[in-house]
Amino acid sequence: MIHTDIGHIQFNVQKGNLPFYRDLATFLGWQAIYEEEAVLGVAGAHGVSLWFMGYAKEGVANDYDGPGMNHLGFSAASQADVDATVAYLAERGVASLFDTPRHRPEFAESEDRTYYQVMFETPDRILLEVVYTGPKQA
């Protein structure tokens, strides 16, 4: 058996939405590693990178409930970081989905831990999550 890690993920997006992804990635603590007119690469911890390619076909809608990836989750260091993300999104007119932010006890490892999340869509209808998992915090 071999061992692998996630190296990168590519998202095809509308070119005009690249600033949304750059600003969100910066807010979430990722660094731009490559940027040109139709391509944005950002890097997080452990060498993982996300690539946003401004070459999405016109008239094709993403359906995260269809075959393919449902959503990408970003791990947050605290419940406060999730709440800060909610405020950041609200300032930009991005709605939280699925009655989030909220605790999801059904996903928590134990009663003294939590799974606290916000879910939202990007302008390209890519479903994202920012989630804190760990000890419950006041």
Q: Which of 1, 126, 136, 132 is nearest to 64 (CA)?
A: 126
What CATH class is the domain 70-138? alpha beta
Contact 73, 135 (CB under 8 A): no
Instruction: Report the CATH fold assignment for 1-55.
Output: 3.30.720
The model carries a pTM of 0.93
Residue ranges, CATH 3.10.180.10, the chain: 70-138
The predicted-structure confidence for 9-62, as pLDDT tens digits, reads as follows: 999 999 999 999 999 999 999 999 999 999 999 999 888 999 999 999 988 888
Residue ranges, CATH 3.30.720.120, the chain: 1-55
Which pLDDT score is estimated for 83? 98
The predicted-structure confidence for 64-111, as pLDDT tens digits, reads as follows: 899 989 999 999 999 999 999 999 999 999 999 999 999 999 999 999
